[in-house]
């Protein structure tokens, strides 16, 4: 059942969001920043890592859900490829963003995320035009 594959990637990404939220709260306490980023560069990076994940993950999960609904037209490999690309991309991007302003992690992370979006978007368009759906 394809929805179980989606559930795996959704669960991992939701836990990633939870971890980034906890890291943001912990960083706020350690750096004594109650609101905003307080002009603190580390706080800015942690906030953006969480915010960026929160911006990209929901659309990715929504697309994966739609792909799973289109079964049996959807091949399982497509959901795995898109889900893995989204998940790896978000983890790598968050780590890169937290570690520094511009590095390979950020570049690789966004490229993987955009690849997942291309797989999801293209897959949805192609599958919506098939007679099997």
pLDDT digits (tens, 9 = 90+) for 16-29: 999 999 999 999 99
Q: CA triplet 31, 98, 102: central angle to 5 degrees?
A: 125
73 band by pLDDT with thresholds 50, 70 and 90: confident
84 band by pLDDT with thresholds 50, 70 and 90: very high
pLDDT digits (tens, 9 = 90+) for 5-53: 999 999 999 999 999 999 999 999 999 999 999 999 999 999 999 999 9
Q: Report the pLDDT value the prediction gives residue 127, as an integer from 0 to 100.
A: 93
DSSP string for 40-107: -HHHHHHHHHHHHHHHHHHHHHHHHHHHHHTTTSS-HHHHHHHHHHHHHHHHHHHHHHHH-SS-HHHH
Mean pLDDT along residues 88-106: 94
Task: For the chain, give every domain's residue range.
Answer: 2-128
63 band by pLDDT with thresholds 50, 70 and 90: very high
* Per-residue pLDDT at 106 exceeds 90: yes
Q: 39: helix, coil or strand?
A: coil
- CATH fold group of domain 2-128: 1.20.120
Q: 31: helix, coil or strand?
A: helix
Mean pLDDT along residues 78-94: 98
């Amino acid at each position: 059942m394809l929805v179980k594959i989606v559930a795996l990637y959704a669960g991992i990404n939701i836990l990633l969001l939870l971890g980034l939220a906890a890291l943001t709260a912990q960083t706020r306490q350690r750096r004594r920043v109650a609101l905003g980023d307080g002009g603190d560069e580390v706080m800015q990076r942690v906030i953006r890592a969480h915010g960026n994940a929160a911006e990209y993950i929901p659309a990715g999960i929504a697309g994966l859900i739609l792909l799973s609904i289109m079964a049996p037209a959807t091949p399982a490999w497509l959901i795995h490829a898109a889900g893995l690309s989204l998940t790896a991309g978000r983890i790598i991007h968050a780590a890169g963003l937290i570690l520094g302003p511009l590095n390979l992690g950020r570049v690789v992370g966004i490229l993987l995320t955009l690849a997942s979006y291309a797989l999801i978007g293209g897959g949805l368009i192609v599958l919506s035009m098939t007679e099997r759906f």
